[in-house]
Structure 1
Amino acid sequence: MKKFSVVLTGFLLPLFFYAQNPDIKGSVVDEETREKVPFATVAVYEVESRVPVNGTTTSLEGSFVLKNIPYGSYRLEVSFIGYNTREIPLQLTSGQHEIILDEISIRPMALQLEEFEVTAMARSAVNRLDRVSYRAEDFETARGGTAAELLSRLPSLIVSPDGEISVRGTTDFIVYLNGRPTQIEPSMLLSQIPASSIIGIDIITVPTAGFDAQGKGGIINIVTKTDAMQGLSVSASGTFGGAPWGNRTDNISGDNLKDDRYGGALNIVYAKSDWVLQGGAEL
């Protein structure tokens, strides 16, 4: 019986000394708000080592426990994403069974960002319930021309030489200028407005009560810059051509038939405030 007692005592002795290594307890808070910081990393390192002796993460309440740390000199590191790492020196001596640290505060990391610019391309067309709106600046190839040339660049829209506008084959569209009807002939109006003065174009297929009822097909509303149509505007056009091989004398009447073609037109528009004077001549 005595032999058994000696063996049992010898077996428990190492366990007793092993259990004497102290535990380290503490909590981590935000230095500015004093709120608890959960899931922060807490690790113990020997003074000159980068290999942790022990480590853990803080609980939802910001607390942590590092168990069974051997006696010696250490540094405690606390780190978390978005915060500066905090280091605390530790000295564990014999006779200490539990070390409770004061609240460990960590400071939010201040990031100095360089100036940057965010750019994006605006949509060239905006679809609404009653219309499709286009930005004129998205059709740079027509910027040096007239409104007629700009309209001809729009999808599904055709402008005839006579100024008739059709959208997907539907005609009887009328032209509005800045939301108001105009008495100027469409061909003359479209030739008088520089494309560079146009901000946007609305193709209104379902005119609301705010528009005149005329125009069964719809309305083309041209939005221009301020005073774009003020002052005197003169435009001239001409055509000349022919086919000499087509000239002949009619065998029956004896009339001379010529295929030569020529023509011209002069349009003058003077606009001021709310009134417009227009005139023109054709050959």
Structure 2
Amino acid sequence: MRMTTGRVFVITGASSGLGLATARLLSAVAGTHLVLAVRDPGRGRAAQAQLASGSSSEVRVVDLADLDSVRAFAGGVERVDVLVNNAGVMAPPRTLSAQGYELQFAVNHLAHFALTGLLLDRLAAGADPRVVTVSSTLHRQGRIDFDDLDGARAYSATGAYNQSKLANAIFGLELHRRLTAAGSPVRSLLAHPGYAATGLQATVKPGLYRWALMKLGNPLLAVSAEQGARPIVLAATSGEGGRFIGPTGLGEMRGAPGVVHPSAAARDSETARRLWAVSEERTGVRLLDPAGRHQEPG
């Protein structure tokens, strides 16, 4: 890591879409050091070339569909002040991760749960340390199906995506609760971009839903990736823990970033307890016990 006088931001999925837009906005702050956590190093270097010259950056490879890769990546991070859990996949055909978990639940939630836990000690030593987990308005349509998390019995691509985004929201709020109980300096915040044209929709399996998204929804309703990234940047740089930052316009699809509200399901304490336990079991990473006491990562 190059020497820097500013804060260090680790951004997953930083080679395109919201991640790249977030990196570009943050790179405008002189002295900032950005760790672009990407799957494809070539695309990561292309993204790096778009950052402002007053910042420094590095490209680090991680495959969020493989928890072994997540562990290896975390082991190489020497310093971090802000972790932006941004990367995601949206509504692909049913696919399993390297560990055999449904891909969207694995990448969007489990990998970020593990990465947060593995970096928590370094975050706690950081300057105004924060974990920003990127969710979606679609978390309101999600349901955590603990009896069929991987869609083995019945798989809906959009249902699994909504489940993963609800898991993001539950995780961010429960992490805030446990960090507060521990008296930790680390703040946990949530963010969502509204309806942003990021290219993520291109991963949706072919069919009427994808056609509607790409041909109708994006041109008529979507904001740019840069506009969608503004709530993420706001959460990464200011505000109290436990807040959910998103567009404040009609339907939270667009508008100035500000505090929005998670669904009742995202705030349910019993669902949070169960999801935390499942996440620890699947990742082998133990973050904080219910009373907020630090636990060694598995």
- TM-score in terms of structure 2 length: 0.20
The higher relative CO (CA closer than 8 Å, separation ≥ 6) is in 2
Which structure: larger Rg? 1
Higher helix share: 2
Higher strand share: 1
- TM-score in terms of structure 1 length: 0.21
